[in-house]
C-alpha cells in the first residue's frame, strides 16, 4: 500500500513536470502576446511609413497603475480647432502587451466640435499604450504612456 502511494506521488510529480514542459512549448512556440514590433507594424499600416509627430497636442488621461486590468480608463483630448479645414480625422489606440495590439479606433468630424473620447479597456499586463492621431491633412501625431497592471484582464 505504501509503495503504491509512493508510485502515485511520483507519477503526479511527473505529470506536473510534463504540464510545465507543455506550458513552456506553448509560451515559446506560439506568441501569446503582441509585442512592440507587432504594434509598430500596425501603426505603420495606418501611417504608411509617414513621419509621426511627437504628439504635443495630445493629452492622455490614463492611470499610472491599474489594479484591475479588466477595466482601465483610457481617455485622450487633442488640441484641434475641429473645423472643416483643420480637424482630427481618426484616433487609434494600441497596447503592446495584449494578445492583439489594437484596442479601439475613433473617427471624428467637424461636427464633433472638439476631439476627445473616454472609454475602458482590458490590459493583460504592464505595457505601453500608444495613441495615434490622424489629421485631415494627412499628418500624424502620437503619444505614449505606460500603465502598470496589478491583475491582468484576460479572463484566465
Partner 1 sequence: MAKIKPRVRVPKSAEVGEIVEIKALISHPMHTGRAKDKAGNVIPRKIINSFKVAFNGAEVFSMNLEPAISANPYVAFPFKATEAGTMDFTWVEDGGAEYTVSKKLKVS
Classify residue 96 by burial, with Cβ atoms within 10 Å: 0-12, 13-18, 19+. buried
Q: How far apart are CA 126 and CA 66, in angstroms?
A: 9
- Comparing C-alpha atoms, which of 75, 70, 87 is closest to residue 138? 87
Grid cell digits, residue 73: 480608463
Smallest distance from partner 1 to CB 106, Å: 5
How many alpha carbons lie under 13 Å from residue 142 in its C-beta half-sphere?
18
For partner 1, the closer CB: 6 or 105 = 105
Number of residues that make up the chain: 156
For partner 1, the closer CB: 55 or 116 = 116
Interface contacts to partner 1, rule CB under 8 A: 70-72, 75, 82, 95, 98-100, 102-109, 111-123, 153-156
Residue position matching grid coordinates 493629452: 59
For partner 1, the closer CB: 8 or 26 = 26
For partner 1, the closer CB: 50 or 71 = 71
Amino acid at each position: 500500500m505504501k509503495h503504491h502511494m509512493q508510485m502515485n506521488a511520483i507519477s503526479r510529480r511527473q505529470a506536473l513536470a510534463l504540464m510545465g514542459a507543455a506550458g513552456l512549448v506553448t509560451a515559446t512556440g506560439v506568441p501569446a502576446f503582441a509585442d512592440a514590433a507587432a504594434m509598430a507594424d500596425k501603426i505603420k499600416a495606418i501611417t504608411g511609413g509617414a513621419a509621426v509627430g511627437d504628439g504635443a497636442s495630445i493629452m492622455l488621461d490614463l492611470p499610472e497603475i491599474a489594479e484591475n486590468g479588466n477595466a482601465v480608463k483610457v481617455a485622450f483630448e487633442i488640441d484641434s480647432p475641429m473645423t472643416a479645414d483643420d480637424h482630427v480625422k481618426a484616433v487609434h489606440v494600441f497596447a503592446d502587451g495584449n494578445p492583439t495590439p489594437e484596442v479601439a479606433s475613433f473617427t471624428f468630424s467637424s461636427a464633433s466640435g472638439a476631439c476627445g473620447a473616454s472609454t475602458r479597456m482590458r490590459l493583460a499586463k504592464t505595457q505601453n499604450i500608444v495613441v495615434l492621431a490622424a489629421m485631415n491633412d494627412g499628418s500624424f501625431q502620437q503619444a505614449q504612456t505606460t500603465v502598470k497592471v496589478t491583475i491582468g484582464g484576460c479572463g484566465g
